[in-house]
Structure 1
Amino acid sequence: MTQPPKPASRPDKVSLWQYMRLFRRDILSAQPERLYRAWMAEFRTPFFRSFLMNQPALVKTLLKDRPDDFPKSDRISEGLRPLLGNSVFLTNGETWKRQRRIIDPAFEGGRLRETFPAMWQAAEAAAQRLGETGDLPQDVEPLCSHVAADVIFRTLFSIPIEAPQANAVFEAFKSYQRTQPLLNLGAFVPLPRWMPRFFRKDTKSAAVHIRRLIADLTEARQQKIDAGTAPADLATKIMTTPDPETGECFTAEEMVDQVAIFFLAGHETSASALAWTLYLMAIFPDWQDRLAAEAQVLEAEDFAVMSKLRLSRDVFREALRLYPPVPMMVREAQCPERFRDRTAPKGAQLVLSPWHLHRHTRLWDNPDGFDPGRWQTENGKTCMRDAFIPFSAGPRVCPGAGFAMIEGPLILSRLLRDFRVVPVEGAVPVPVAHLTVRSANGITLRVERR
């Protein structure tokens, strides 16, 4: 039976320095096989202690029951700070709560219907571009990045990816994403605040350039808001929504921070998920044909059609299980804690790993297999509730989770309605962690018109 590709797992016993070298190169292949069956694991280094939390009850404690006691780790955020500043993805405490009070209304259920036309137009444009490439083997990751960025700019700023401002951000981000590892040295060494951080020069300069371009977009939008000519899109909604407790809106600098994370979360993560879904469709052609048949309902721009894309939604959800775009999230213990007869000291790094949780051998039936039908089984329903966190969970769940679950199935169905994806012999992608879970050498498929 065909199995989706996994990274190579390291032996269970290696030295700390060997592990750090493996970790720096790729955090996925550095992980030992035992972590896919452990409820909890402890790692000791000369600098700090960390714990992998795999048991659903532990995940619930950290994300749902006591999130304020386990804020996001500052060590992990150091690597993303030059691009994201103090965005909602990195902040904690009252600052984070204020940001969510302003952002959340833009992603309420009714807003999905309003953003659907922009998603539809981006999917149509992607199908047209794909039809112009011929049936030669091609890396589908750039295609997925392009359409995901197009969705973001159309829904956020009402401009297509071809617009000069949007294209400039997209091109700058492409040079940034492969230079930025998921974690930097700050994740290993507790550096004092005054000490310079160890960023690659090209990574930092790319981040500065992206932020300057985003600042131009937000400044232009503010001028339209002031003039009463701004479109009713996500940017306008967020920039004009006051905090219900203080009455204050985001400042210009804060809005740059938020747009940066919207682009990262809404573009990079969606592109990762869509690319892996297309690969899974290529190696499981029976499922691909079923989705293509279901996609025949995509005849007119109508939000109601999403209720008819049930198979596409289950396939996309299964891809998120096997290849969660954000493979690990790190929280920090504010006080000494006791978990499963282990003491986690104050400052301990508590790792929540969708990558391990979604493939855990003690939770899932056929954890490494591709089975979209699992979501209709009792095991699948239980695991979706207790062990499926591609968008995190609890108060810090991604505000765009509903957005992503419309965007992904829609684009997938639209492309498969007109095109067939076929694997290329010898081109087996190897998942690695950059900003998100990507393939080490791209995902090469042959795309044929149906």
Structure 2
Amino acid sequence: MLFRQDILSAQPQRLYRAWMAEFRTPFFRSFLINQPDLVAEVLRSRPDDFPKSARIAEGLRPLLGNSVFLTNGETWKRQRRIIDPAFEGGRLKDTFPAMVAAAEACVARLAAREGQVIEVEEEASHAAADVIFRTLFSIPIEHEIATEVFHEFRAYQRSAPILNIAAFVPLPRWMPRLHRRGTRAAAKRIRGLITRLTAARMRDIRAGSAPDDLATKIMTTQDPVSGDTFDTEEMVDQVAIFFLAGHETSASALGWTLYLLATHPDWQDRVAEEGQQLGTSPTFSDVTRLRFSRDVFREALRLYPPVPMMVRQARCPERFRDRAVPAGSQIVLSPWHQQRHERIWDRPDEFDPGRFATAEGKACMRGAYMPFSSGARVCPGAGFAMVEGPLLLSFILRQFRVSPAGEPPVPVAHLTVRSAEGIRLSLCLRKE
């Protein structure tokens, strides 16, 4: 059985069976919704009636400004029209060599740690940040500014307030609170570093010397409606969320996947064998062959979704399951609960990547699986993540075997679901 501790086990056990639950505080009301058709109504059918909650936006604004993750309405729609083309299938193919380079660099770093106990979340963060910098700005993590951003973000990640939970838990300790001084300072430093990268890229674009990477694509894409492009300040906001979403969430997912494979060596061996078939110079088309790796990664995202809860706000009075939902109520959509729901999933707490090959598993995936959100606001980088994750797994595990070391990790929520004390695994070179 897997752990449901910290904020996640603080919720009543009944929430893993409930279709809907109401929480009241002196200041607002919240409704947790697990029923698949109601989740689909909020996220897919009527997204404009359920915008992002201001409680979440204010908590992350010092770092993310007016990024696409926080905005609503016409501002958000304009931002997505500019951003989405950069993550289409053809562009993913263009970024693949940079992903491979980051995977090779990750394996080289791990080779120096062979035979040791490693803290996997730290290694996963390093690898995910390297992928982002290589694909976004064509620079490796060793670049001076990239290294500074990476270290500053690790400090920010541990000090940022837990706002997803604050949106509905009716206890004072979970309610939104003022930012810690260190959190604001770290956010300011990160944005200053990103501004330097973005301004330099803007100059290269004007000079005609910019590399053809994601940053250049996004900064030169015109809104098909207005013809506008992002200015430097707007681009800083977007780069901040790309780094948060593309680094922080990927690191969380990779860390938990490696832990799950360390505790399930049969699946680990299948992923390693599949990775061996990639050869030394894989191409983008080879990704389709990573079937076991992809299902393993999907299952890890089901059990440990990087963003455990998403919060929307009801614009108008609603009625869900014959219960009045006042205007202004917080609507909590929880991948953590829905993807472990006892009335939806068979053996919801068990690690079983094979479930996605069954008719029941496929049906659950269509109706109750949303690690990247769903509908209009689905993460634009979802396809990117589903290439990056299996690729990194394949490169790591075809060369190394991982096994548990120390106490089992306990999940907690910072900006994403992480382990309270890290994830420690033994790293050994695989025998030929």
2:359 is the alignment partner of 1:378: yes
Secondary structure in 2 aligned to 1:445? Answer: strand
2:272 is the alignment partner of 1:308: no
2:361 is the alignment partner of 1:365: no
2:54 is the alignment partner of 1:74: yes
Residues 146-165 of structure 1, C-alpha deviations (whole Å, 9 max, x = no match): 00000000000000000001
Q: Which one of the candidate residues 400, 409, 431 is aligned to 2:381?
A: 400
Q: Which moved more, 1:280-289 or 1:292-301?
A: 292-301
Residues 398-427 of structure 1, C-alpha deviations (whole Å, 9 max, x = no match): 000000000000000110000000111x42
Question: For residue 3 of structure 2, what is the aligned residue in structure 1?
Answer: 6
Question: For residue 397 of structure 2, what is the aligned residue in structure 1?
Answer: 416
Residues 282-328 of structure 1, C-alpha deviations (whole Å, 9 max, x = no match): 00000001111111122113111111110000000000000000000
Secondary structure in 1 aligned to 2:14? Answer: helix
Q: Which one of the candidate residues 290, 299, 305 is aligned to 1:318?
A: 299
Question: For residue 432 of structure 1, what is the aligned residue in structure 2?
Answer: 412
Question: For residue 74 of structure 2, what is the aligned residue in structure 1?
Answer: 94
Q: Distance in 2 between matches of 1:396 and 1:285?
A: 36
Q: What percentage of aligned pairs have identical amino acids?
A: 69
Deviation at 1:188, TM superposition (A): 7.2
8 Å contact kept, 1:181–1:433: no
Q: Distance in 2 between matches of 1:379 and 1:371?
A: 13
Q: Which moved more, 1:297-306 or 1:227-236?
A: 297-306
8 Å contact kept, 1:47–1:188: no
Secondary structure in 1 aligned to 2:311? Answer: strand
Q: Distance in 1 between matches of 2:20 and 2:340?
A: 15
The verdict on how the C-alpha distance between 1:248 and 1:351 changes in structure 2, with shifts beyond 3 A counting, is: same
Question: For residue 18 of structure 1, what is the aligned residue in structure 2?
Answer: none
Question: For residue 350 of structure 1, what is the aligned residue in structure 2?
Answer: 331
The verdict on how the C-alpha distance between 1:290 and 1:184 changes in structure 2, with shifts beyond 3 A counting, is: closer
Question: For residue 266 of structure 1, what is the aligned residue in structure 2?
Answer: 246
8 Å contact kept, 1:357–1:387: yes
Q: Distance in 1 between matches of 2:348 and 2:221?
A: 43
8 Å contact kept, 2:356–2:362: yes
Question: For residue 211 of structure 1, what is the aligned residue in structure 2?
Answer: 191
Question: For residue 148 of structure 1, what is the aligned residue in structure 2?
Answer: 128
Q: Distance in 2 between matches of 1:44 and 1:185?
A: 14
Q: Distance in 1 between matches of 2:28 and 2:287?
A: 47
2:243 is the alignment partner of 1:243: no
Question: For residue 255 of structure 2, what is the aligned residue in structure 1?
Answer: 275
Query: 1:303 is aligned with what amino acid?
Result: F
Residues 160-199 of structure 1, C-alpha deviations (whole Å, 9 max, x = no match): 000001111111101110001331897479xxxxxx9711
Structure 2 residues not aligned, in runs of 5+ = 170-175
Q: Which runs of 4+ in 1 moved over 6 A?
A: none
The verdict on how the C-alpha distance between 1:152 and 1:185 changes in structure 2, with shifts beyond 3 A counting, is: closer
2:298 is the alignment partner of 1:298: no
Question: For residue 233 of structure 1, what is the aligned residue in structure 2?
Answer: 213
Q: Distance in 2 between matches of 1:302 and 1:251?
A: 34
Question: For residue 41 of structure 2, what is the aligned residue in structure 1?
Answer: 61
Q: Distance in 1 between matches of 2:235 and 2:88?
A: 19
Structure 1 residues not aligned, in runs of 5+ = 9-25, 190-195
Q: Distance in 2 between matches of 1:155 and 1:235?
A: 8
Query: 2:319 is aligned with what amino acid?
Result: R
Say what the alpha-carbon RMSD is for the aligned residues: 1.4
